[in-house]
Chains A and B, each alone.
Chain A
Amino acid sequence: GAVVSQHPSWVICKSGTSVKIECRSLDFQATTMFWYRQFPKQSLMLMATSNEGSKATYEQGVEKDKFLINHASLTLSTLTVTSAHPEDSSFYICSAPGLASHEQYFGPGTRLTVT
């Protein structure tokens, strides 16, 4: 079946630095990808919709200048957390829709810890 990968699987960075997370669709093309954030013992919250070749659409309350999204190709979307702070520590998950309207393939997630 369709596979979505994320890299890195976990990262530790210092406060004030930037971190880039990659989301790749391995055997299919995705004009749209979704980025979610999940805090401990909570559900997934949609952060933004990444659109290939155009600007991402951010959910209310998500700072677009802090969470930079680039969808440069049909198989790659990146999320850059800029000037990271400890409160940005979370589990970041991406997903890509399949051909059918209800198909959605999730990446394995990236654990970000900001110290």
Chain B
Amino acid sequence: TQLLEQSPQFLSIQEGENLTVYCNSSSVFSSLQWYRQEPGEGPVLLVTVVTGGEVKKLKRLTFQFGDARKDSSLHITAAQPGDTGLYLCAGVNNDMRFGAGTRLTVKP
């Protein structure tokens, strides 16, 4: 059973479209992180959110941490084929637990 529920699990969209990935939990986290992973490689950190209600922007990516620090979302604007990959959220307390991941495919 995943501590973090991530949705959708798979997403295939056309270049230029917007998308949102959700990460939900019944647990409170001291921080939450989003990673992107390419096949055969370790995950690469995109962002860390710490404060409830926090919003961070990284170019076309917007990350939000829920007020209660139990959930988060990742919004990508005008997706590009280079955004294709596995996106993972991870809740941090004494250790780090990952969501199931969202496999995004952006078609040109």
Question: Measuring CB to CB, which residues of chain A are less than 8 angstroms from any residue of chain B?
Answer: 34, 36, 41-46, 49, 91, 93, 95, 101-102, 104, 106-109, 111
Contact = CB atoms under 8 A, between A and B. Distances in A.
A95 B96 contact: yes
A45 B97 CA distance: 7
A91 B95 CA distance: 19
Contact of B98 (A45, A91, A108): A45
Interface stretch (B40-48, B53-61, B71-79): B40-48
Chain A at the B interface: mostly helix, strand, loop or mixed? strand
Chain B at the A interface: mostly helix, strand, loop or mixed? strand
Range for the number of chain B residues in contact with chain A:
20 to 34
Given A101-B31, A104-B92, A43 B98 contact: yes
Given A46-B95, A49-B95, A101-B31, A106 B100 contact: no
